Amino acid sequence: MRGAVEMLREFGVPHEVRVVSAHRTPDLLFEYAEAAAGRGLRVIVAGAGGAAHLPGMMAAKTVVPVLGVPIAATALQGFDAMLSIAQMPKGVPVGTMAIGAAGAANAGLLAIAMLGTTDAALQEKLVAWRAARRDEVLAQVVGDEVSA
């Protein structure tokens, strides 16, 4: 989940980091989710492995959008978690990201894009960040030639 935090920090987005477990701290999960909108949270990024109930249960208890990141925590290397997060019943949506580090970073970026819909300065930072990624690709040299 470090990738999500790193993206939020890079863009200067205020955030909080909490460790919550759907199975080991269910009361904390419910309390956190039920209070999320009232505390001003606008998007939640929740990582989970194995049965991966955290993102879905979080989404069931709040109207704040939830992005789920499957974690490779079992012998199935996160595939079980991805299916659990993706297969939510109608009415309880969870945005499902890729497994692991790339999914965490993309969850941070998607949260930034969502927040950018109502924050022009944040959206401009995202536009510039994406342009910089494009320029990195275009600047790559293969042998004596620039790749296209």
Kindly list the structural domains of the chain, giving each domain's residue range(s) and its CATH number in brackets, ordered by start: 1-139 (3.40.50.1970)
- Give tens-digit pLDDT for 5-19: 999 999 999 999 999
Q: Where are the beta strands (DSSP E) in the chain?
A: 44-49, 66-71, 95-96, 141-142, 145-146
pTM: 0.92
Where is the binding site, in residues? 24
C-beta of residue 53 within 8 angstroms of C-beta of residue 61: no
pLDDT given for residue 2 in this prediction? 97
- Give tens-digit pLDDT for 94-135: 999 999 999 999 999 999 999 999 999 999 999 999 999 999
* Residue 132 CB contacts under 8 Å (≥ 6 apart), including other chains: none
Where is the binding site for substrate, in residues? 24
